[in-house]
Amino acid sequence: MFKNVTPRQIAFWISAIITIFFGLILWTLAGDTNTFLRFNIIVFFALVSYFVAFSFIDNFIYRKVKLIYKTIHNNKAGKTHRRDEIAEDIFDDVEMEVMRWVVDSERQISDLRALEEYRRNFIGNVSHELKTPIFNIQGLLETLLDGGLEDEEMTRRFLQRAAKNAERLQLIVDDLLTIGRLESGDISMHMETFDLKHFIDDVMEDMEFSAKEKNIKLAYKEGAVPKFQVKADKEGIKKVLINLIINSIKYGHENGVTKIGCYDMADHILVEVSDNGVGIAKEHIPHLFDRFYRIDKARSTSKGGTGLGLSIVKHILEAHRQTINVRSNEGVGTTFSFTLEKA
């Protein structure tokens, strides 16, 4: 009954209630006054009370609510408004808009809390990653300054270790800058068409020395040798493939194998990099592409990684509007797969 009421309906009910009370009082106090006159007075009072109530509701309440609603609605849509554009049936719209606002506000608060938590974790991780090489360099130099310079062999060894830690610092900073540029869109993708097999052959040749150090063989999966032309940023995808192969070498078993396969998926090509290494526990998989996330921090640091490689991989592929996935079984191996646009 009272759903979607208009100002006129509200004014009518207010006028009716007031007129009934006024009529009862007038009829009681008027005594022998002419009935027709009393009736006219009541009708006149009803009309006056209706127009007063309607004017008050329309001008001081209803229009204000409509204006507030329209302002909220248009600000969300990035528009300006005029009074004559305001809809007539507004109360339900206001209620729905307020409910949307509440939901949006709760989501925004949740997102802000998540971002704050992410910021704290990120600052903590960056501090930890930078602190270790800085502390090592500081300790090595202080040892040399405290008398170690007299020993030529010790000086050379310590300087080599300091240089290695400085190189690690440089890698971390470079990777952070790369991620920052990818996120801000400062790095533009130079899309070009190229032969996928020739491209992968070149990358495998570049990685051959690193693989031989652990006696790991780089090979194609049977029946999955690429014969495709793809369209992508060549240098960016090279970073992706190198990062995935480096990971497979680092965490692969001695005398193991890293296999690459390519599969036709209509408009896209699926590229897989698989190893028969230690594998990854299920609880770690959702966090693999987080910055500085390490499954085994001590072992990962000793292997020389910055903890940013997979995060860079994800950002590069997202810049291509492509996806990357991972599946793994502990003790069996890991497979990373990503898509490329077919040319």
Q: d(Cα 194, Cα 232) in Å, to the nearest integer? A: 8
**In the chain, % of residues over pLDDT 70:** 78
Which pLDDT score, from 0 to 100, does residue 288 have? 85
pLDDT score recorded for residue 191:
92
Residues 6 or more apart in contact with residue 180 via CB below 8 angstroms: 186
**What does the pLDDT average to over 148-158?**
82
DSSP string across 81-94: --GGG--S--HHHH
Tell whether the model's pLDDT for residue 86 goes beyond 50: no
Distance between first and last Cα of the chain: 63
271-310 pLDDT, tens digit per residue, is 999 998 888 888 888 888 887 777 765 445 555 566 788 8
- Helix axis angle, 196-206 relative to 234-250, nearest 10°? 50
- Measured CA angle at 9 (ends 6, 15), to 5 deg: 140
Lowest mean pLDDT among 74-78, 99-103, 186-190, 263-267: 74-78
Buried b (16+ CB within 10 A) or exposed e, 123-137: eebeeebeeebeebb
What's the pLDDT at 76? 58
The CATH code of domain 191-342 reads 3.30.565.10
Question: Residue 261: enclosing H or E segment and its boundaries?
Answer: strand 257-265
The residue ranges of every structural domain in the chain are 7-89, 99-184, 191-342
Residues 6+ positions from 340 with CB-CB distance below 8 Å: 196, 230, 231, 232, 237, 268, 269, 271, 320, 322
* pLDDT value at residue 104: 81
pLDDT at 67: 63
Of residues 13 and 82, more confidence is placed in 13
Please give the average per-residue pLDDT across 126-153, as a whole number: 82
pLDDT the model gives residue 66:
64
Average pLDDT over residues 42-68: 71
Nearest to 88 by CA among 109, 63, 110, 124: 63
Residue 4 backbone zone (phi > 0: left; psi -120 to 50: alpha; other: beta): left
Quick: pLDDT tens for 158-210.
888 888 888 888 888 887 888 788 777 777 788 999 999 999 999 999 999 98
What is the overall mean pLDDT for the chain? 79
Q: Report the largest interatomic distance among the alpha carbons of the chain, rounded to a whole angstrom.
A: 129
Q: How far apart (Å, rounded) are the C-alpha atoms in residues 255 and 250?
A: 12
pLDDT at position 297? 55
What tens digit of pLDDT does each residue of 111-129 get? 788 777 767 776 777 777 7
Residue 235 has pLDDT above 70, yes or no: yes
Q: How many CA atoms lie within 13 A of 95 on its CB side?
A: 5
Does 318 or 50 have the greater pLDDT score? 318
What is the rounded average pLDDT of the residues 60-70? 64
- 75-79, 136-140, 214-218: which range is least confident on average? 75-79
The CATH number of 99-184 is: 1.10.287.130
Residue 83 pLDDT level (bands cut at 50, 70, 90): very low
Average pLDDT over residues 145-169: 84
